[in-house]
Amino acid sequence: MRSRFLLLTIGFVACGMSPALAGLTVVRGEGRAVISGNDLAGARKAALADALYDAAGKLGSRVRGVSRLNQGVLREESTATVDGRFKTYSVVREGREGSAFVVSIEAVGETDGETCGGKRTDLDIRAISYRVAPGIPGQVQRNVEEGISRGLELLSEGESFRVADQRHLPRIRGGERNNSSQYDYAAQLTDSRPSPAGYSLSGEVQVQRERRDNLVANVTDLVLTAVLSLHDNYTGARIGTIRRSVSFAERRTVFGMDEAFSMGRSRVNTGALFELIRADLEEKLACQPLRAAVLQSGKDEVMLSVGLEHGVNRGDYFLVGTANSRGEWQIIRVDEVTPSQSVAKFLKPLPSIPPNALATLMR
């Protein structure tokens, strides 16, 4: 005997986008409820709940199964769970139709599908200094300094981000995107202003000597440690830290033997260190939603800071928050695309979109 239970789980997300593995989408839902007597408010509430249920079902559903043995009879039960996570919703139509009340909604929700492929965010490499412990040979210092530049070439091979070398600029401080930073003038002169809706990486590479003597030998290694901060260019907030270390054999000298019989020194190569950093960046940025800043805003279209090189195509949709007191949002569709920018049209007459607004790819 098979019995089916239908459960409804609708979670409203009050702030921002949380899970990196969730994608945004827009769905429509419609609900209908019979009016009992003159209780229009109760019917509207029931119809709205039904509309939310309908929209949640379009976002995703799961079926769970369980088997139970009861007095020798195998009973199979399955539970269909509608799991819709809404960022926000709005009522687009409501009213009485005969003896029923009908509500139609438009909901922006989060799907469970991964959004980790087909897009690349901007990553600005800001100031990366290096610090060498006393006694480290000058050759090693030169290797590290040159190795940082070679390491950026390795980072540029990342699949989920586009690297811009801006090491001549200090780390992001939150004001660059609004032209309120003291570094804007220098950045504009060098045509290297931070990507307004991307991320930036800055920090330090440290070189230290580690000694691990044993009973028969003098053993010293050189340890390279990178401590890098990942910042959100749009808000200036620090969103993560990358700390990676690699070791290189510096000296292996057997006790009692002349220096000439030591096992020698090893040349420091920063490639292994930056490969680890690149892997960490892929993990942190690959599944982040692609964002764009509104560079220019018109009556019914906007210019965005992302284009073909970011994985944006004609026909893609973006969700734009308007930051007004009513919490309204606008949906735009990409109409023209260049390598680094795109033009998108409004899908709704209102609300308008101010410059510097943040748009999120809905895919």
Ranges of each domain in the chain: 2-111, 121-285, 291-362
Q: Which residue has the higher pLDDT, 6 or 340?
A: 340
The closest of 111, 107, 92 to 54, measured between CA atoms, is 107
- Determine the pLDDT at residue 173: 62
CB 94 within 8 A of CB 105: no
Name the burial class of residue 74, with classes exposed (0-12), middle (13-18) and buried (19+) by CB atoms within 10 angstroms of its CB: exposed
Residues 252, 73: Cα–Cα separation, whole Å: 73
Q: Is residue 21 predicted with pLDDT exceeding 80?
A: no
Q: How confident is the model at residue 315 (pLDDT cuts 50, 70, 90)?
A: confident
Q: Scan for tokens 């195998």, then name that residue.
A: 74
Q: Which of 46-50, 221-225, 304-308, 344-348 has the highest mean pLDDT?
A: 304-308
3-state SS assignment for residue 289: coil
- Determine the pLDDT at residue 264: 46
CATH tag for 121-285 (out of 3.40.50, 1.10.3470, 1.25.40, 2.30.130) = 3.40.50
The H or E element spanning position 83 is strand 73-97
Query: 2-111 with 291-362: one CATH topology?
Result: no
- Determine the pLDDT at residue 25: 73
The closest of 244, 248, 247, 202 to 226, measured between CA atoms, is 244
Condensed to tens digits (0 to 9), the pLDDT of residues 255-291 reads 655 554 444 455 678 889 999 999 999 999 988 889 9
Tell me: cis bond preceding 351? Omega within 30 of 0 counts: yes
CB 134 within 8 A of CB 210: no
Q: Is residue 171 predicted with pLDDT exceeding 90?
A: no
Domain 291-362 CATH superfamily: FlgT, C-terminal domain (2.40.10.410)
Q: Regarding beta strands 100-111 and 73-97, do their DSSP bridges make them parallel or antiparallel, or are they unpaired?
A: antiparallel
Looking at 2-6, 117-121, 146-150, which range is the least confident one?
Answer: 2-6
Q: Is residue 342 predicted with pLDDT exceeding 90?
A: yes
Q: Is residue 61 predicted with pLDDT exceeding 60?
A: no
Q: How confident is the model at residue 196 (pLDDT cuts 50, 70, 90)?
A: confident
pTM attached to this predicted model: 0.67
Q: What is the mean pLDDT of residues 324-330?
A: 66
Condensed to tens digits (0 to 9), the pLDDT of residues 74-123 reads 454 444 444 455 666 778 889 999 899 999 988 777 665 545 778 899 99
Residues 13, 108: Cα–Cα separation, whole Å: 10
CB-CB neighbours of 262 under 10 Å: 14
Which tokens is 265 given? 């020194």
Q: Regarding beta strands 217-232 and 301-304, do their DSSP bridges make them parallel or antiparallel, or are they unpaired?
A: unpaired
**Helix runs in 20-137, H state only:** 40-59
CATH tag for 2-111 (out of 3.30.365, 1.10.287, 3.30.1660, 3.30.457) = 3.30.1660
Cα distances (Å, whole numbers) of residue 141 to 128, 170, 206, 289? 14, 22, 10, 39
Rounded to the nearest integer, the mean pLDDT of the chain is 76
C-alpha R_g of the chain = 28
Which tokens is 15 given? 């702030």
Q: Scan for tokens 């020798």, then name that residue.
A: 72
